[in-house]
Amino acid sequence: MIRAVITGTGSALPARRVSNAELAETVDTSDEWIVERTGIRFRHIAGPEETTATLGADAAKAALAAAGVVARDIDLIVLATATPDQTFPSSATKVQHLLGIDDCVAFDVAAVCSGFLYAVQVADSMIRAGSARRALVIGSETFSRILDWEDRATCVLFGDGAGAIVIEAQESDVQHGRGVLATRLHADGRHNELLYVDGGPSTTGTVGKVRMRGREVFRHAVVNLATVLEETLAAAGLSVADIDWVVPHQANARILDATARKLGLGADKVVVTVDQHANTSAASVPLALDTAVRDGRIEQGDLVVLEAMGGGFTWGAAAVRF
């Protein structure tokens, strides 16, 4: 059967890396509070020349090189972001231009921290339907630009960055073949007010800043992530025992621990980068994936489960044979 197979990963981070101690010089917080409550130690913050599109293009170039694919062979770009360079055109078309691709399908997906999972399902569906053969799926964010730097409850949590995959149509064995095996997505707009941005083109005419009721988001995250992960495994005919690696959205180390405990999954199977990158929203899953591929943890043939939850609420998971 034809499946969408991940053939390369890449990532990009802004040059400037900011420690908790450096943040504590301007925000009423401490390294101790941030590490204990979140596990975060560092985040990267974009400089004036670094944008969602430039970071996304750099991550894409690294993924193309890893896959051994040239940019003109890409026929689809799906870019997940909540922080586009401009309201329009899409950041996907900006990445397309930066990569020197003259013609392909390119668009953005907005599902905040779950955006990469939404983008993977879109690309997987288009590849299996035959409307794309070789896609770039990118998560890229510059959340530093929509943070309220006077709100210590949110500004310490987020960072900037980008991750990308090349995903291609390949013949795959039904039982043991490589590729995206199953995806599951959800949204529940009743929770808009727990995590949102207080502005937008059609309301205030401004970009707005991130607002979050952290404790409530935390509670929903653990339940939703454990449920969607089990649902996705069941759809692929697999169980928690089959998992080699979980690559979760990196919001809070305590959410990662609590979700793993709820599933009966060993902490040694969870890829954790939140300490180094903080929460990079739609970029966090592909950034963590690329980290674990490049350091040799994730190998060809491994069963990898990607999962995320974010504003909306939105949440989702994907089971992938690497």
Residues that bind ligand UT7 (CB under 6 A): 29, 33, 37-38, 113, 152-153, 156-157, 214-215, 217-218, 221, 251-252, 255, 279, 309-310
Catalytic (active site) residue 191: no
Nearest residue to ligand UT7, by Cβ distance, number only = 214
Angle subtended by helix axes 52-67 and 91-99, to nearest 10? 50
Q: Which is nearer to ligand UT7, 99 or 117 (CB)?
A: 117
Contact 146, 210 (CB under 8 A): yes
Contacts 24+ apart (CB under 8 A), 16-24: 16/44, 16/45, 16/46, 16/47, 17/42, 17/43, 17/44, 17/45, 18/42, 18/43, 18/44, 18/45, 20/156, 23/155, 23/156
Q: How far is the CB of 54 from ligand UT7 (least distance, A)?
A: 23
User: Catalytic residue at 113?
Assistant: yes
Choice between 107 and 218, CB closer to ligand UT7? 218
Stated length of the chain:
322
Least Å from the CB of residue 21 to ligand UT7? 13
Shortest distance, CB of residue 215 to ligand UT7, whole angstroms? 4
Choose between 183 and 284: whose C-beta lies nearer to ligand UT7: 284
Residue 279 falls in the annotated catalytic set: yes
Which backbone phi and psi does 196 adopt, to 5 degrees?
Answer: -160, 175
111 vs 120, beta carbon nearer ligand UT7: 111
What is the helix (H) or strand (E) element at residue 152, kind and residue range?
helix 152-155
**Which is the catalytic residue, given 113, 155, 224, 252?**
113
Query: Active-site residue numbers?
Result: 113, 249, 279
